[in-house]
Structure 1
Amino acid sequence: MSFDHRTTVDPTRSADRARSRRNRVVAIGLGAVVVAGLLAFGSYTVLEETSSKDSGTDSGTQDAKQAEPTEQGKRGLPAEPVAGEKTWDAAKLTRNHVATDVAYPMEPPVGGDHAQAWLNCDGVVYEKAVRNVNAVHSLEHGAVWVTYNDEAADGDVRKLASRVGSTPYSLMSPYAGQDGAIMLTAWGKQVTVDGADDRRVAQFFAKYVQGAQTPEPGAPCTGGIDG
């Protein structure tokens, strides 16, 4: 009698070993992909940081630099001449306190004798006309007075009211007797503008709100009268 010493192969065990090999291969492949991805991300981050250091800026600094021209422009406004501006000799604008109305040679008035009480001008928008003699006292304290007549566009009036409302030492009121639709007045200074978006509005405010023309700088714009 003879015996076959070859081992009988179990088909189930063979299939298990094959699956195990495939799983190892897949795991090794995925691991390689993850490592490659991490290396690529790390290289990108290093390059970004190096680029930022080389340029000497980050996003916050870049935003600040982009804003610099605007801020510089704002700081430069007071030094710029206001086109079409009229100027009166401050030495000839008397500053006496009077108890009666004053016949001013210009409308709105830019200075001269005035009432003892000033108009509150801490960003106040008056819906009705105000007395000249009280408004002139506010100009003496360094306020800018914005006036308009019926020819001014409603949109311009709203925009100007918003600017005045957020600006200490300014006031606004309707003024039927003036020549221009919109006029800005400070002590000894006056300009007629085309609208609320006219660049001269920003110039005039920057130059004359508590500007060098102010006879009494630092005098209050509150504690006076309302209209």
Structure 2
Amino acid sequence: MASTKTSNASRKARIEEMRRAEQSRERRNRFLTIGISTVVVVGLVGFGSYVFLQQSEKKEQKVALAKAPVKKEKSWDAKKLGRNHVTKEVSYPMTPPVGGDHSQVWMNCERDVYKKEIPKVNAVHSLEHGAVWVTYNDKASDADVKKLEEKVRKTSYSLMSPVKDQSGALMLSAWGKQVTVDSASDPRVEQFFTKYVQGPQTPEPGAPCTGGMTL
């Protein structure tokens, strides 16, 4: 009888010990889960903050670029540039032209790269819609031309074409604005795009760059 009681007590003790061990294991797992979750949440919050700060910094840089003057940029009074639609060639006072009377049909300027010269009267209409026109002549290096082509192909409201009789090897034009750059890596390239793609100089903001003339 005493032996049976002793056996039952031992069994209960073992069961109680197993229960305590299981409870201890559950507590450890719970702490581990909470700890890992905390680390993940902190990591996500930190990453989100990093991304937000990066985006904010990029936005501030763009704002700063848009406000700063472009070095050695030439400007014409946008209000004095003709905007009549004509059906004949126009003799422009600058090459490439940055405004003036033009064809009623614009050149497609939705990331379009033209390998041949395009009609200036159509390109000027594209500038009126807020496009940036990248041009080059035979003095431009193949590497610079290729890099600028890549830039245009990534940028809406921009187009590119050769202009043999322009004075600079690489030039960028917008309505009433123009700059000659030293290379495709010249920081003024990015600044000019940031400042003038659909920029404040645009006579017809929001007008399309598709549905026009192509070659």
TM-score range, shorter chain: 0.7 to 0.9
TM-score calculated relative to the size of structure 2: 0.78
Match of 2:8 in 1: none
CA deviation digits over 1:98-134, x for unaligned, max 9? 1111111110001111111111111100000001111
Q: Distance in 1 between matches of 2:169 and 2:97?
A: 16
Match of 2:200 in 1: 212
Match of 1:142 in 2: 130
Q: After superposition, where does 1:1-227 map in structure 2 within 5 Å?
A: 58-227=46-215
Which amino acid is 1:174 matched to?
Answer: P
Q: Distance in 2 between matches of 1:62 and 1:214?
A: 35
TM-score calculated relative to the size of structure 1: 0.74
Which amino acid is 1:193 matched to?
Answer: V
Q: Distance in 1 between matches of 2:194 and 2:55?
A: 19
Greater C-alpha Rg = 1
Give the deviation of 1:190 after TM superposition.
Answer: 0.3
Which moves more between the two structures, 60-69 or 97-106?
A: 60-69
Q: Distance in 2 between matches of 1:195 and 1:124?
A: 20
Q: Distance in 1 between matches of 2:203 and 2:50?
A: 42
Unaligned runs of 5+ in 1: 1-34
Which amino acid is 2:113 matched to?
Answer: V
Q: Distance in 2 between matches of 1:65 and 1:89?
A: 38
Residue 134 of structure 1 aligns to a residue in which SS?
helix
Q: Distance in 2 between matches of 1:93 and 1:122?
A: 24
Give the deviation of 1:66 after TM superposition.
Answer: 4.5
Q: Distance in 2 between matches of 1:221 and 1:60?
A: 36
Residue 184 of structure 1 aligns to a residue in which SS?
strand
Q: Structure 1 residues 70, 91: closer, same or farther in 2, change over 3 A?
A: closer
Q: How many residues align?
A: 192
Q: Distance in 1 between matches of 2:132 and 2:158?
A: 5
Identity %: 58
Residue 58 of structure 1 aligns to a residue in which SS?
helix
Residue 146 of structure 2 aligns to a residue in which SS?
helix
